[in-house]
Amino acid sequence: MTRSLVTGGCGFVGRRLVDALLDRGDEVIVFDLAGEPWRDGMRLVHGDLCDAEAVAAACEGVDVVFHSASLVHTKQNRGELVRAVNIDGSRNVLAACRRHGIGKLIYVSSASVVYHGEDIRNGDETMPYPERFPALYAETKAIAERELLAASGDGPLTCAIRPHVVFGPGDTRLVPALLERAKAGKMKFQVGSDDKLSDFTYVGNVIQALLLAEECLTPGSAAAGQAYFITNGEPMPFWHFVRQVVEPLGYAAPKMRIPFAVAYAAAAVREGVDTFLRGGTLHAEGGLSRFAIRYLCTDHYFSHAKATRDLGYVPETNLEQGIAETVASLR
């Protein structure tokens, strides 16, 4: 029996991954700050990624680590904490894998590691990391990814999965933020035009890719030390996605547009006030950070051809079905 550890296993992607690992017969250890066990066969260990000894203790006796935990924070504040969790925490995971002779480490990265604030159309894995990042979150994810991939074979074999705009039943971030604004009547304006395309990735397809990566990650395999974009491969305008989620639930989608410059300035003011008054609140962007505004006004979609070639990845759930399942779970 494979013993798998999932960092951040109580989160949106992590929880779905834990269920999939249990379904395939793994013994699963979840390492997370909080949460409660929800299934037999799993063991929950409460701990902080920034605590190297706690990470090492949780990894003892493990065969494979799925490193899903990170701090998603796209505002330009709280930099010390974001670096500590996303960079130092990843270093602690790698060190624990080396200490215990763990053979495989799969990193849940992000497509934003190559985002430089300009249009990306059908981007692939030959794209370099930007010299300057529009958000510290993307920068810290890129630093962690680069270090983990460079370490492949010097300890565990590693690879990175780069999903883009993950959604689905159980989403704790994207869809809840949209619905919160719609319910409060704050979704009157859209930022950006409908000619800018974004990729979306159904959460089940992310899990599919992670499991395929673990299976393919063997000595001498093409996957070792590699990163893979994972999407549905069906880019659409962001606001078309929003309409397909909120309108079936009885909420109004935006009818008017606001210029990029106005929205960006408002986001800058909001971030400044948040930093001044509270030092930077976590998990409270509400879709209004400078990074988010820039994202809404650029193309960012990617090819998953490399993942198809090396991992055998072909999305199991198409975008229409994924949206329908998400909406049904929220009725």
How far, CA to CA in Å, does 285 sit from each of 6, 150, 174? 26, 32, 11
In contact, 199 and 231? CB cutoff 8 Å? yes
Contact 159, 316 (CB under 8 A): no
**Tokens of residue 22, six digits:** 């249990």
**Whether residue 202 lies in the annotated active site:** no
Q: Which helix (H) or strand (E) holds 191?
A: strand 189-191
Number of H helices, E strands in the chain: 12, 15
Catalytic residue among 107, 115, 137, 228: 137
Q: Can you list the alpha helix ranges (DSSP code H) found in the chain?
A: 12-23, 52-59, 79-83, 89-100, 136-150, 174-183, 203-216, 238-246, 260-278, 290-296, 305-311, 319-330
Which one-letter DSSP state was computed for residue 76?
S
Q: Which long-range contacts (CB under 8 A, 24 or more apart) does 317-323 make?
A: 317/202, 317/204, 317/205, 317/232, 318/232, 318/234, 319/200, 319/202, 319/232, 319/234, 319/236, 321/202, 322/167, 322/168, 322/200, 322/202, 322/204, 322/205, 322/232, 323/167, 323/241, 323/244, 323/245
The catalytic site residues sit at 137
